[in-house]
Every structure is written in structure tokens, then in C-alpha cells.
Amino acid sequence: MAVLKIGGVTLQTNLLLAPIAGYCDLAFRITCRKWGGVGLACTDLLSPQGLLRGRATSLDLAATNSDDKPVGMQLYGADPAMMAEGAVWAVEHGATVVDINMGCPVDKVTKKDGGSRLLCIPDTAEQIVRACRDAVDRASGGRVPLTCKMRLGWFDAEPVAVWLAPRLIDAGVQAVTIHGRTTQQKFSGDVHHDGINRVVEAVGNHCKAAGFSIPVIGNGDVRSAEEAQAMISKTGCAGVMIGRGALAAPWLFRDAWALQTTGTVPPEPTDAEKIDTIEAYFNLMLHYRDEHYAMVQIRRRISWFGKKLGRGTNARSVPVGCKPLKERIRSAKSPAEVIDALGLFRDGGLRGGGIEVAEEATA
Ligand SMILES: Cc1cc2nc3c(=O)[nH]c(=O)nc-3n(C[C@H](O)[C@H](O)[C@H](O)COP(=O)(O)O)c2cc1C
């Protein structure tokens, strides 16, 4: 299976960790990378204004280090000049790749013409790409690729990505990620593999005529190695971006890469290994951020991790579950109490309650 090449950057695999605002922070990106299989991980969406003004929340979101490479930094907005300045900031602060958000459906972003609203104003989208392309080339000497991440379109009936992606490639993007839903769909309904496939075909035909090749990365609802494989075989995409599936299983990239390269999926990590991963992630949050942040995050994140914990069955073949662990962590008052709860579960305690459906992250 081919690795993925974006501009002059060759990734070790064709699997990418998606941006998920409020979730894919530095600690989580490193947690996924430790399991292997991550070709590129992306920051959550960043405000260029926030970065340029040195706003603490933006700087925290953009934080990266040598364990977090290669990294994409994703910018959102609608002002080409401001986006270009943000892109230069990203290059100067460690971005391996600069990405433009054209998929966010959240009102706060689209009301200011950012995110997926750009799918409705293609001239602006193109101007942003041209401005960022020039700025990134100047700042990096042509070293840093520019990419964009978009949905199939705004309206279900108007799949604009089919013609917008080739247009943005001409303007300077070197890879396109397609979330196989429209803005109208938000996060509901099925991902349209056929819609992603049409973009793959359109980009392929466009680039063939021009004598070069640009990868299209498929995204949406990949929660297992087999689903990553299906994304590739059904759409013809060159790479797969995984978001929510990784929140429950940071080892998903390892699994999906193993399936592509060896034809088999490694054994699922044991509960003890999963707890080690959660503990290491919690410690990284304490290290990179602070106690308040780590406590807030672990209380909400334990629902996601809990989807994969306590999956053995009891004498009546009912999954054992980890409800007591989740309750203990949600009510923990200090890092010591979190570590203590994880230790108890690792030693065989805090099980029960069956598998509860975790709340979904949506935006
Ligand atoms: C809570 C939440 C926040 C998200 N934040 C971003 C973001 O900052 N930038 C972005 O391009 N996409 C964002 N997305 C979309 C994801 O990157 C991805 O396209 C989508 O979740 C589908 O992929 P998945 O099913 O693998 O999660 C977000 C999605 C969710 C659920």
C-alpha cells in the first residue's frame, strides 16, 4: 500500500488524524502517534486573528513539538489577506502542512463566511487559496504544502466539491480532504462514498490532463480498520482521515495500517493497555497544559474511551462494561483520584453496568 505524498512531503502512512475542535489537542495527537500508523495529525481549527494577536486559547490550540510531527495546522476564516498572514504564522511555528477549513458547518464560523460557507462563495475560496499559496511559498521556500478540507457541498442537491476541488488545485492546494457529507447533513445520515468517489474521479481526470497528481483523502464514519479499507476501495481515495473513531480507539491508525500492509489487524489492546494509554494521555495533558484542563478533558473523554473498555462478557454473555470507572472519573476531584480510578480498573475493579452508548461529539 502506497504511502501518501503531499507536495514535497512524504508521509509514513496514508492515514490522517482529523481536526476535532476541543478534542485533537497536542496530548491527544501524541497519544495516537504512540500507537503508530498516523501519517499526519492536524490541529483543531485555528483563528488567524487569534494566532497573530497571541491570544492564549489560539496559541494553546496551535501548540506543537518535535514528538508531534508531521503536523497540519488548520486555519479558518474568509479574509484572504488575514488567512495568508495566519498561514505564514503556521509555517513559522512548525506546521508541516497548512490546511484551510472549508467544511465547518457551525453557525459561528459560517455566518462570517468561513468554514463550509466557502463552498457557496467559490471566488472567495479561490482567493484565499491563492493568497495562502503565495504566502506559504514565500515563508517556506516552497517546502510547506497547502491543503484544504471540505464537505461535498452545502446543499444535498449541489455537490460543488466535484468542480470546486479541481479549481482550488489550480489555485494551489496540493491535497484535498473530503468529508462525505453536505453542510445540510451536518453530522447526520450516512457518509456518501459515491460522492467522495466522484470528487476522486474529477480530481484524477483534471490532474491527468495537466500531467500531475494530487491526492484526495476520504473522511467520515471510519471506526475500524475494515471501514478504513472500505473507504479506500469504495471511493478510490489515496488516504483516509479519521476523527471520532480515534477518540475511542487511538490505536485505530495502527490497525488500519496493519490491515493495508499485512492483511491482518493486530489483536485488540488489553484493558490494561487501554488504561495505560488513558493514563499517559492524562499525564500529557497535565504536562502540556494544567490540572484544570486535564480534569475537564478526562471527565468528558472517558465516555469515548469507555466505548472500548470492559468489553469482556459475563456468564450471561452480557458485556461487562465500565460504568463505575466512568462515574468515578466524572466525579474525581483531583488528578490523584483519576489515576487511582484507572489503577483500580487496571487491577480488575470498577467494572459493570454493561456497555452504555457514549454521547457523540458533534459540531
Ligand atoms: C466536535 C467536532 C469538532 C470538529 N472540528 C473540526 C475542525 O476543527 N476542523 C475540521 O476540519 N473538521 C472538524 N470536524 C469534522 C471532522 O474533522 C470530520 O470531518 C468529521 O467528524 C467526520 O469524520 P469522522 O466520522 O471520522 O469523525 C469536527 C467534528 C466534530 C464532531
Q: At 362, is the pLDDT very low, low, confident or very high (cuts 50, 70, 90)?
A: very low
Q: Which helix (H) or strand (E) holds 181?
A: strand 176-182
- Each residue of 181-237: pLDDT tens digit? 999 999 999 999 999 999 999 999 999 988 999 999 999 999 999 999 999 999 999
Instruction: Look at residue 1 in the predicted model and tell me its pLDDT.
Output: 57
Report the separation in Å between the CA atom of 264 and the middle of ligand 1, taken as the mean of its atom positions. Answer: 28
Average pLDDT over residues 159-185: 98
Rounded to two decimals, what is the model's pTM? 0.96
Residues within a 6 A CB radius of ligand 1 = 18-21, 44-45, 74, 101, 103-104, 149, 179, 187, 219-222, 242-245, 361-363
Quick one: the chain helix, strand, coil %, rounded to 5? 50, 15, 40
Residues serving a catalytic function are 104
Mutate to test the pocket of ligand 1, among 24, 74, 179, 185 (most ligand atoms within 8 A of CB): 179
Can you spell out the DSSP letters for 120-155? Answer: T-HHHHHHHHHHHHHHHHHHHTT-S-EEEEEEEESS
Q: For residue 353, what pLDDT band results from cuts at 50, 70 and 90?
A: confident
Do 132 and 48 contact (CB within 8 A), yes or no?
no
Can you give the pLDDT at residue 312? 76
Q: Is the pLDDT of residue 83 over 70?
A: yes
- Is the pLDDT at 35 greater than 80? The verdict is yes
What rounded mean pLDDT belongs to the chain? 95
What is the Å distance from ligand 1's center to 151 Cα?
11
**C-alpha to C-alpha distance for 154 and 294, rounded to whole angstroms:** 36
pLDDT at 318: 72
Task: Supply the residue whose CA is at minimum distance from atom 23 of ligand 1.
Answer: 220
- In this prediction, residue 359 carries a pLDDT of 45
Looking at the chain, how many residues does it have?
A: 363
